[in-house]
Amino acid sequence: MTFNWNRSEVAGLAKQSCAHCLGLGLRHCVKTETDVPCNCVLRAVFRACYRRFKWCASRDPRIGTARMERVNGKDGRNMWGRKDEEFVADFCLVSKRTLTEDEHRIFRFHFLLGADWKLCCRRLNMDRGTFFHEVYSIQRKLGKVYRELQPYGLFPLDEYFGGTVRTATPRPSRKVIEMPSADRRRPVVPPLRKVA
């Protein structure tokens, strides 16, 4: 399944001084004849998720609260969860599954353990240019995965943490008759025949 990016969701993430997309956020791919997100957008997605990761990881674990959330689906039931801890775990696990072993070593030292570029270059035996090239590549790769992860992505953060949820609008069916809206003064009565 391919993920469709649109201009409205990348416009706020695009870097205005980007030489590739000129601040629009999407570039036209000649190979696939589709619009693909620019690297500046993918890195912005990663940075937003990384900021939230640092905020969630730096909180005192004793303060974390369990919240009840509505689970969409056939049953539509409620479930308890600790979203901050779940986000930290998802951030780490998705990153580990996506990156190669060498990329994950850089990711772990630089992003998870917080080592600066000098310490990382010394520890990983690489020069500064190669290190930053790998960091940008990691940010681009993970930003794409965080947004396109199915069925629920890590980005946008408001959807992950229980804000609005994007759902496909159901197509009207001929076999389903909609119930009229409930008026509190009258009891709801199902329709006896199909209304045209």
Q: What band does 125 get if pLDDT is binned at 50, 70 and 90? A: very high
What average pLDDT does the segment 162-180 reach?
56
Between CA 155 and CA 182 the distance in angstroms is 36
The residue that leads in pLDDT, 106 or 179, is: 106
Between CA 43 and CA 8 the distance in angstroms is 17
153-168 pLDDT, tens digit per residue, is 888 887 777 755 555 5
57-107 pLDDT, tens digit per residue, is 888 766 667 777 766 666 667 777 778 888 899 999 999 999 999 999 999
Q: Give the Cα-Cα-Cα angle 140, 142, 147 (nearest 5 degrees).
A: 100
Between CA 161 and CA 52 the distance in angstroms is 11
DSSP string, 14-28: S-TT-TTTTTSSEEE
- Domains of the chain, by residue range, sit at 40-160
